């Protein structure tokens, strides 16, 4: 499809990618939306917690549901998840916001956890919703890492039900190796320090559950995001190295196989994303991929007002256009 000409233009301080990113993650008032937590038991003996929001809690549920996927070390209570859920609920959608393994406030049971390309948990949630919840329309919406995950899911060699009507990836690092290089640049150090602190703390907590494989010595070696993926993520999920994990988990290579309409919304001034994360060539020749690249917006920071974000409205516009 043709590249979409974006209607988003940031104002004032929000023209800065860093300001948009930081304000939207840390300073924006959280748009409150009611959530009901339900646990999904997985086939490997682990679990994920799903925070459900309903468009009408007093009457019958909607016939359509949106699955929301958060980013690295996020959860369903992050401001971008709540904001999108609120917008969807007000537009008649039910929402299933998935907390990745170990991200719901309770450690997951197994040594493995979640990663940027492990789509099995999403697949089980989709299957559960289709068989147990009986919705007629399902949309997948992912932020940052969650965006990469859903695009990979839609492009993998599996049968995608016609009930999945759309996928939307916001600020998605779809080429993980080059995105890590960008993230490791000096200008992004404040972000990487936050990620690293969260990941090291998670390692410490899991170390108590798996003392034979996770040790203080290995923890002391985790000084960068690359270290974490080499020491924990790769071996825990069956990869020989972080490099192999990044290569096999990047959604970019799966885009040509996508048969579901998808919107990829990424700001040109997103300092997390390398040039390869903007798949202009693929989108130009693919009937199902819509690529929108506003000049501004930072990383998941498409501010209009505190109660209204362009990305949240754009999701609704896209879903309404393909229904």
> 162-184 burial, b for 16+ CB within 10 Å, e for fewer?
eebbbbbbbbbbbbbbbbbebbe
Instruction: Look at residue 56 in the predicted model and tell me its pLDDT.
Output: 77
Q: Which pLDDT belongs to residue 269? A: 97
Write the pLDDT tens digit of every residue in 115-143: 999 999 999 999 999 999 889 999 999 99
pLDDT at 1 over 80: no
The pTM (predicted TM-score) of the whole model is 0.97
Task: Give the confidence band of 2 by pLDDT, cuts at 50, 70, 90.
Answer: confident
For 264-282, the pLDDT digits (tens) are: 999 999 999 999 999 999 9
Chain Cα centroid distance, residue 251: 12
Give pLDDT tens digits for 25-44: 999 999 999 999 999 999 99
- Count of alpha carbons within 13 angstroms of residue 299, beta-carbon side: 24
Residue 184 DSSP SS3 = coil
Q: Are strands 64-69 and 94-99 parallel, antiparallel or unpaired?
A: parallel
Q: Answer whether 293's CB lies under 8 Å from 3's CB.
A: yes
Note whether 173 and 192 are within 8 A (CB).
Answer: no
Residue 77 CA to residue 74 CA, distance in Å, equals 8
Percent of the chain with pLDDT over 90: 95
CA proximity to 312, closest of 106, 25, 89, 112: 89
203, pLDDT greater than 70: yes
- Res 305: pLDDT: 97
Measured from the Cβ of residue 93, the count of other Cβ atoms closer than 10 Å reads 25
Tell me the average pLDDT across 193-210: 96
CA separation for the pair 143, 311 (Å, rounded)? 10
Q: Which CATH architecture has domain 12-174+251-322?
A: 3-Layer(aba) Sandwich (3.40)
Q: 138: which residues sit within 8 A by CB, 6+ positions away?
A: 64, 65, 66, 67, 126, 129, 130, 161, 163, 164, 165
12 conformational bin, left if phi > 0, alpha if psi -120 to 50, beta if neither:
left
Q: Where are the domains of the chain?
A: 12-174+251-322, 176-249
Confidence at residue 57, expressed as pLDDT on a 0 to 100 scale: 63
Token pair 């401001």 in the structure block, residue: 79
């Amino acid at each position: 499809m043709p590249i979409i000409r974006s209607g988003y233009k940031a104002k004032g301080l929000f023209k800065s990618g860093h300001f948009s990113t930081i304000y939207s993650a840390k300073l924006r008032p959280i748009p409150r939306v009611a959530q009901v937590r339900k646990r999904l038991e997985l086939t490997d003996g682990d679990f994920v917690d799903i925070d459900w929001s309903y468009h009408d809690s007093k009457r019958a549920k909607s016939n359509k549901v949106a699955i929301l996927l958060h980013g690295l070390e996020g959860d369903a209570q992050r401001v971008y998840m709540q904001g999108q859920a609120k917008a969807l609920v007000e537009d008649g959608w039910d929402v299933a916001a998935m907390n990745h393994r170990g991200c719901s406030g309770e450690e997951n049971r197994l040594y493995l956890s979640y990663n940027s390309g492990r789509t099995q948990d999403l697949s089980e949630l989709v299957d559960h919703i289709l068989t147990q919840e009986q919705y007629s329309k399902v949309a997948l919406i992912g932020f940052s890492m969650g965006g990469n995950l859903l695009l990979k899911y839609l492009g993998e060699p599996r049968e995608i039900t016609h009930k999945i009507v759309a996928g939307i990836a916001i600020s998605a690092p779809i080429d993980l190796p080059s995105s890590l290089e960008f993230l490791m640049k000096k200008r992004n150090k404040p972000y990487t320090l936050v990620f690293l602190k969260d990941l090291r703390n998670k390692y410490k907590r899991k170390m108590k559950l798996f003392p034979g494989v996770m040790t203080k010595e290995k923890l002391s070696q985790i000084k960068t995001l690359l270290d974490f993926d080499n020491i924990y993520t790769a071996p825990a999920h069956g990869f020989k190295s972080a490099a192999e994990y990044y290569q096999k988990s990047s959604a970019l290579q799966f885009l040509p196989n996508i048969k579901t309409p998808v919107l990829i919304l990424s700001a040109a001034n997103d300092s997390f994303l390398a040039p390869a994360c903007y798949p202009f060539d693929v989108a130009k020749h693919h009937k199902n991929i819509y690529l929108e690249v506003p000049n501004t917006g930072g990383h998941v920071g498409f501010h209009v007002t505190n109660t209204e974000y362009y990305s949240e409205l754009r999701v609704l516009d896209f879903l309404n256009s393909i229904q």
